[in-house]
């Protein structure tokens, strides 16, 4: 059965490069998952997310006239942006005997760590972008 754009199929990673991964599709053809289509998160190294011979679900983005197939792992699975459900009535064993101040301090520490992680991730993303403000010109 021929592939069609928009179809989601399972394939096998056959090769990993700095710009993406090659995936063998069920019909024996091969396509490319560009690095920007590997994950909803920022991907610096494809090999951190994929391994050779790994089975992956991919969405067919395009098929060019010369037979090149563009694929996406990111678009084959829904983005999970909803926050995790919290059972406010269930108490954590280690927090049972803590005072309010201790719980507050623990919350502030966790929040600060998460904020630092987000800032460092944003810094990594923007560090590769040149701008005229930074003294670069076209």
The string of pLDDT tens digits covering residues 29-50 is 999 999 999 998 899 999 999 9
The total domain count for the chain is 2
Tens-place pLDDT, residues 15-31: 999 999 999 998 889 99
Q: Enter the tokens of residue 77.
A: 């699975």
Gap between the Cα atoms of 64 and 46, Å rounded: 24
Torsion of CA 61, 67, 68, 74, to 10 degrees: 20
Dump the DSSP string for 17-64: ETTEEEEE-TTS-EEEEEGGGS-SS--S-GGGT--TT-EEEEEEEEE-
Residue 85 in any domain: the answer is no
Per-residue confidence band for 115, with pLDDT thresholds at 50, 70 and 90? confident
Q: Which residue has the tokens 């592939």?
A: 3
Residue 51 in any domain: the answer is yes
> 60-64, 71-75, 108-112, 129-133: which has the minimum mean pLDDT?
129-133
In the three-class reduction of DSSP (H, G, I as helix; E, B as strand; rest coil), residue 65 is classed as coil
Residue 34: which CATH number? 2.40.50.140
Say if residue 47 is in the same domain as residue 102: no
Range of the domain at 99: 93-126
Residue 111 in any domain: the answer is yes
């Amino acid at each position: 059965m021929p592939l069609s754009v928009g179809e989601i199929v399972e394939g096998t990673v056959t090769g990993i490069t700095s710009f993406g991964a090659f995936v063998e599709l069920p019909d024996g053809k091969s396509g490319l998952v560009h690095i920007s289509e590997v994950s909803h998160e920022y991907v610096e190294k494809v090999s951190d997310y994929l391994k050779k011979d790994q089975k992956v679900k991919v969405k067919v983005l395009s098929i060019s006239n010369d037979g090149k197939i563009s694929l996406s792992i990111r678009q084959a699975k829904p983005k999970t942006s909803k926050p995790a459900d919290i059972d406010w009535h269930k108490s954590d064993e280690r927090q049972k005997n803590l005072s309010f101040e201790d719980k507050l301090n623990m919350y502030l520490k966790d929040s600060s760590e998460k904020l630092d992680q987000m800032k460092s991730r944003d810094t990594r993303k923007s560090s590769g972008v040149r701008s005229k403000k930074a003294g670069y010109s076209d």
